[in-house]
A and B are shown apart, each in its own frame.
Chain A
């Protein structure tokens, strides 16, 4: 089972520029979470802080008892072996072939024989659809392939926590759909805790169990996917709707004057029409069921009373739809138990 990641009161600045402050959230074990946010809101900085590459000024990130921010470097290095991070640009070693890149963590951290390494690497390359390209150098392949190779490299050590930085950027819609399916399949196979950072609405609406959004130097929201998908919060609605009306402007924030002007000129979103929630992707038939689904159901039922009505509705109806366990039986029990805490 994946490992829980607890982020508490995290604040990160570069010089006098605060990237975000007081970010508090919990990635539930084994579940898939998505962090949304317009470009430049510090999503990449957040991922790097979680894994301890950047050191926020305040707050902590607890993983398996290690604080990735303040613990001694040796403990942080050890804890990093639990992680797989897929970088935005792949971050492959330019002087090594794809095969050697993907084999790198195995050669560094395991005593596997070369034949065994070959087997694992080929399996992962097959998983991300890169079979046949193992001899190529990173400079010789497309951005999308580099990205998938980066994902394969993040996966070879069977990580408990997988972090993906914009898995979709630079991919066409078809490849993005494949990547979405791949991420869900991975979760079914590995039962790892996953955090995906993206601004792709298709991924956001079909992949995650939980969703959060960074905007204006803070975490606007984090919770079960239905909460954000039904949210009438202007920032969230504008972002998920992908229209111009709302607080997000070209340079991240609009001022009051621009907003008033747009309102007069009739630039409005469709926020009055509630969006239909797309069902979450299922693992490819033949793969094991996602163990996170049941755990999440328990957890969310425990939270249900604290959620806004629209979200509660959406959750209940989704449980009715997908639940083989009838919601009428499971729900009261879950609620009475208060959920796992």
Chain B
């Protein structure tokens, strides 16, 4: 337990420099691969931490409330014109094909399966995710997260898990909201503007749509919420170089989330259409 004493000959000459390591040319694409790996590892850690005690109920409720409060109104406002646009487009298309009686079913399917989860995803990523990313990023550069780790508290469990769960729950609820509002908007425009008959609209609806359509819609929303939350948390936890870095991180997190979400949406839609038989076929 002795402290090593002063090593006697303290040469004033500069310490011999270690030979500079040979400049390694980074393999292109390796950086992106590494980032992807870290993102996945954060996702796995987060899922693991979801089941660990103590669960941060308060933080979850606060985050849930926060994300809901910044997304509900824009979601409702966006979904009315979106429902209308789809209804009008599908309506005019079916008219050309001579299949007006199916307008209702077709536009509702388009809204519930595609439009609604994507609207939700954009809002969760744009409004909720950017706030999560900025919040975590500024905590990181203020060393709050380091302080937490030093006190033996995992920032993933304490901060990331409640935020990701909140994003997922809000996404599911918001998806329900957008589906309803969008469908109503579509109905309104089809019946009032295009002079469709309410009866035909509803009848075609139950002829084409089935319950799994709603399930896949909610499942998509759940997965999109998870991705938006994880990407925002990942970029927030790893900002580069000071406050400017946080701004960049927020920006990137939104862009990365969009890219991922559209890709995942394609994959999910493909799988769904393969494994769930269309109604009546």
A interface residues with partner B (beta carbon < 8 Å):
4, 16, 18, 21, 24-29, 48, 51, 53, 77-78, 80-81, 83, 85, 87, 89, 91-94, 104-105, 108-109, 150, 153, 210, 216-218, 220-224, 227-228, 231, 233-235, 247, 253, 299, 302-303, 306-308, 311, 339-341
Find out whether the CB atom of A227 lies under 8 angstroms from the CB atom of B5.
yes
Q: Please encode chain B, from 1 to 44, with 1 for each CB lying within 8 Å of some chain A CB and 0 for all others.
A: 11111111010101100101101000000000000000000000
Residues of A within 8 A of B248 (CB): none
Nearest CB on B from A78, distance (A): 7
Closest to A89 in B: B143
Find out whether the CB atom of A80 lies under 8 angstroms from the CB atom of B1.
no
Residues of B within 8 A of A80 (CB): 149-152
CB contact between A91 and one of B4, B8, B15, B146 (< 8 Å): that residue = B146
Find out whether the CB atom of B149 lies under 8 angstroms from the CB atom of A303.
no
Residues of B within 8 A of A307 (CB): 5-6
Closest to B54 in A: A108
Residues of B within 8 A of A308 (CB): 6, 8
Q: How many contacts A-B (CB < 8 Å)?
A: 111
Find out whether the CB atom of B6 lies under 8 angstroms from the CB atom of A94.
no
The CA-CA distance from A278 to B126 in the complex, in Å, is 61
State whether A253 and B7 are in contact (beta carbons under 8 Å apart), knowing that A108-B152, A341-B1 are contacts in the complex.
Answer: no
The CA-CA distance from A197 to B199 in the complex, in Å, is 79
Find out whether the CB atom of A253 lies under 8 angstroms from the CB atom of B150.
no
Closest to B146 in A: A53
Residues of B within 8 A of A253 (CB): 14
Residues of A within 8 A of B152 (CB): 77-78, 80-81, 105, 108-109
The CA-CA distance from A4 to B3 in the complex, in Å, is 11
Find out whether the CB atom of B15 lies under 8 angstroms from the CB atom of A217.
yes
Q: Does B142 contact A (CB under 8 A)?
A: yes
Closest to B10 in A: A233
Instruction: Classify the secondary structure of B's interface with A.
Output: loop
Find out whether the CB atom of B151 lies under 8 angstroms from the CB atom of A87.
no
Closest to B24 in A: A16
The CA-CA distance from A218 to B21 in the complex, in Å, is 18
A-B contact pairs, 27 of them (CB 8 A): A16-B23, A21-B18, A26-B1, A26-B4, A27-B3, A29-B1, A48-B146, A85-B150, A91-B142, A91-B146, A93-B139, A93-B144, A93-B147, A94-B139, A105-B151, A108-B151, A108-B153, A150-B147, A153-B147, A218-B15, A221-B6, A227-B6, A228-B6, A302-B2, A306-B5, A339-B2, A340-B1
Which one of B1, B6, B7, B21 has the greatest number of beta carbons of chain A within 10 Å? B6
Q: Beyond the given A210-B3, A223-B3, please list 7 additional residue pairs across the A-B interface where CB-CB is below 8 A.
A: A94-B142, A109-B151, A224-B3, A231-B10, A234-B12, A299-B1, A341-B1
The CA-CA distance from A77 to B4 in the complex, in Å, is 28
The CA-CA distance from A234 to B12 in the complex, in Å, is 7
In the A-B complex, the 6 residue pairs with the closest CB atoms: A91-B143, A91-B147, A233-B10, A221-B6, A223-B5, A80-B152
Find out whether the CB atom of B4 lies under 8 angstroms from the CB atom of A53.
no
Closest to B45 in A: A73
The CA-CA distance from A24 to B2 in the complex, in Å, is 12
Find out whether the CB atom of A223 lies under 8 angstroms from the CB atom of B149.
no
Q: Which of B150-186 contact A (CB under 8 A)?
A: 150-154
B interface residues with partner A (beta carbon < 8 Å):
1-8, 10, 12, 14-15, 18, 20-21, 23, 139, 142-144, 146-147, 149-154
Residues of A within 8 A of B18 (CB): 18, 21
The CA-CA distance from A247 to B13 in the complex, in Å, is 9
Which one of B143, B146, B150 has the greatest number of beta carbons of chain A within 10 Å? B150
The CA-CA distance from A29 to B2 in the complex, in Å, is 10
CB contact between B10 and one of A89, A210, A220 (< 8 Å): that residue = A220
Find out whether the CB atom of A299 lies under 8 angstroms from the CB atom of B12.
no
Find out whether the CB atom of A28 lies under 8 angstroms from the CB atom of B151.
no
Nearest CB on A from B4, distance (A): 6
Find out whether the CB atom of B3 lies under 8 angstroms from the CB atom of A25.
yes
Find out whether the CB atom of A87 lies under 8 angstroms from the CB atom of B1.
no
Find out whether the CB atom of A26 lies under 8 angstroms from the CB atom of B6.
no
Find out whether the CB atom of B142 lies under 8 angstroms from the CB atom of A223.
no
Find out whether the CB atom of B3 lies under 8 angstroms from the CB atom of A94.
no
Residues of B within 8 A of A85 (CB): 147, 150
Find out whether the CB atom of B6 lies under 8 angstroms from the CB atom of A87.
no
The CA-CA distance from A51 to B12 in the complex, in Å, is 31
Nearest CB on A from B147, distance (A): 4
The CA-CA distance from A185 to B144 in the complex, in Å, is 27
Which one of B3, B18, B139, B142 has the greatest number of beta carbons of chain A within 10 Å? B3
Closest to B145 in A: A91
Residues of A within 8 A of B7 (CB): 221
Closest to B154 in A: A77
Residues of A within 8 A of B142 (CB): 89, 91, 94
The CA-CA distance from A21 to B7 in the complex, in Å, is 16
Nearest CB on B from A80, distance (A): 5
Nearest CB on A from B53, distance (A): 12
Find out whether the CB atom of A28 lies under 8 angstroms from the CB atom of B6.
no
